Amino acid sequence: MSRRIRIALDAMGGDKAPDMVLKGANIARERHPEVEFILYGREEQCAPILAALPKLAAVTKIIHAEEIVSNDMKPSIAMRTLKKSSMRLSIDAVSKQEADCIVSAGNTGALMATAKFVLGTIQGVDRPAIASFFPTEHGECVMLDLGANLECDADNLVQFAVLGEVFARTALGMVKPRVGLLNVGSEEQKGHEEIREAAAQLRAAQLPIEFSGFIEGNDIAAGVADVVVTDGFTGNVALKTAEGTAKMVASFIKEAIQSSFMAKIGYIFSRAAFQKLRARMDPRRYNGAVLLGLDGVVVKSHGGTDAIGFAAAIGVAVEMVKHGFLSTVRSEFEILSKHLKKTPESAELAAVQ
């Protein structure tokens, strides 16, 4: 029997915690029989819920955590003052190698700050990034950074490209993901300094990465790239703009359907098709932002999600552990650092030859 995957859960993070955390874990347990859970949170709240889920209870232990990081708490304050919070203890578990990964639906900023402090970053990564994935016309794509780093230099963007590419390969099972840099045009001279420099580095680096060059905003949903690399400000705006637009179109469709008696009859016939459409775009399917670049697997579930969404986030963590996300990233960054160090020498050699 292969080794079990041990998942640390922040039982108290999220609007509907701890109920949705435990019910989400129960769904994930069915999908991934190889998992076991360590649940950090208020025992008096978690124990009764767990008692009602005997199959989950068989693979789960609760470790009491008195403190809770609230959503409006400043990340630095949470990190410095709450050393016994459910969030902190679940991250500590990864650091102590008692768990292979951690999933939390709590305060994103606090999770990033605490995880960075406790786990550190992978050698070669200057700053960790937040990544997520969502549907495109031809499947799905990963985008990063989504807000951890508002301003990024060329090195940051190159590192994000590596992190996102390995995530797409290991967690999403993509074979040769195409990496695109988000820009305002596809021509080489477009965009600002940092982005052009990042493109030049990605073209020059001898990484096993399929770099597609610059892509534009409309290329994201068109599925032109599998990994979309950008700074945290632009990524955050693009992600939320896409969400807002999808919601607006959905509300337009709803209005159209309700606009006439005939349209309502039409909907009765089309209902099954529309339900399939809704399932395809269900945000719960795409729940689970990942904190990439940390020396540990950290998955952030949306705070407002339900058990189904939380189970999807656990699923992302399981895939990352199962397919060796961390070890693959480490070896990619070794190649990158060797290459970047060798660049001046190689250039000289090339000039001599």
Which residues would be at the binding site for its own copies (CB under 8 A)?
Answer: 135-137, 147, 150-151, 182, 184, 191-192, 216-222, 230, 232-234, 236-253, 255-257, 259-260, 262-263, 265-274, 276-277, 280-281
CA-CA distance, 14 to 80, in Å (whole number)?
21
d(CA 90, CA 69): 12
Smallest distance, Å, CB 272 to its own copies?
7
Which of 120/283 has CB closer to its own copies? Answer: 283
d(CA 33, CA 312): 15
Q: Which token pair is 89?
A: 């203890």
Cβ distance to its own copies smaller for residue 3 or 280 = 280
**Residue (146 or 329) nearer to its own copies, CB:** 146
Nearer to its own copies among residue 155 and residue 219 (C-beta):
219
CA distances from 311 to 5, 29, 59, 251, 287 (A): 15, 9, 15, 27, 9
Instruction: Please report, for the chain, how many H helices and E strands are present, in that order.
Output: 13, 11
**To which H or E segment does residue 306 belong?**
none
CB of 300 to its own copies, least distance (A): 16
Nearer to its own copies by Cβ, of 53 and 246: the residue is 246
- Report the candidate in 58, 51, 49 with the shortest Cα–Cα distance to residue 24: 49
Write down the least CB distance from residue 180 to its own copies, Å. Answer: 12
CB of 117 to its own copies, least distance (A): 21
Closest approach, Cβ 120 to its own copies, in A, equals 25
Please, are residues 93 and 8 in contact by the beta-carbon 8 Å criterion? yes
Closer to its own copies by CB, 263 or 347: give it. Answer: 263
Would you say 4 or 247 has its CB closer to its own copies?
247
* Side-chain half-sphere CA neighbours of 310 within 13 A: 31
How far apart are CB 245 and its own copies at their closest, in Å? 4
Q: How far is the CB of 78 from its own copies (least distance, A)?
A: 16
Question: What is the four-CA torsion angle of 16, 128, 36, 82, rounded to 10 degrees?
Answer: -60
CB 135 within 8 A of CB 42: no
Q: CA triplet 188, 191, 196: central angle to 5 degrees?
A: 55
Name residues whose C-beta falls within 8 Å of residue 47's C-beta, 6 or more positions apart in sequence. Answer: 62
Q: Which is nearer to its own copies, 19 or 194 (CB)?
A: 194
Shortest Å distance, C-beta 45 to its own copies: 30
d(CA 127, CA 160) in angstroms, rounded, equals 9
CA 16/CA 215 separation, integer angstroms = 38
Closest CA to 208 of 329, 62, 99: 329
Minimum distance, C-beta of residue 290 to its own copies, in the bound complex (Å)? 18
Closer CB to its own copies, 51 or 263, in the complex: 263
Name the residue nearer to its own copies (CB basis): 2 or 189.
189
- From the CB of 257, what's the least distance to its own copies, in Å? 6
Q: Report how far Cα 326 is from the mean position of its chain's Cα atoms.
A: 14
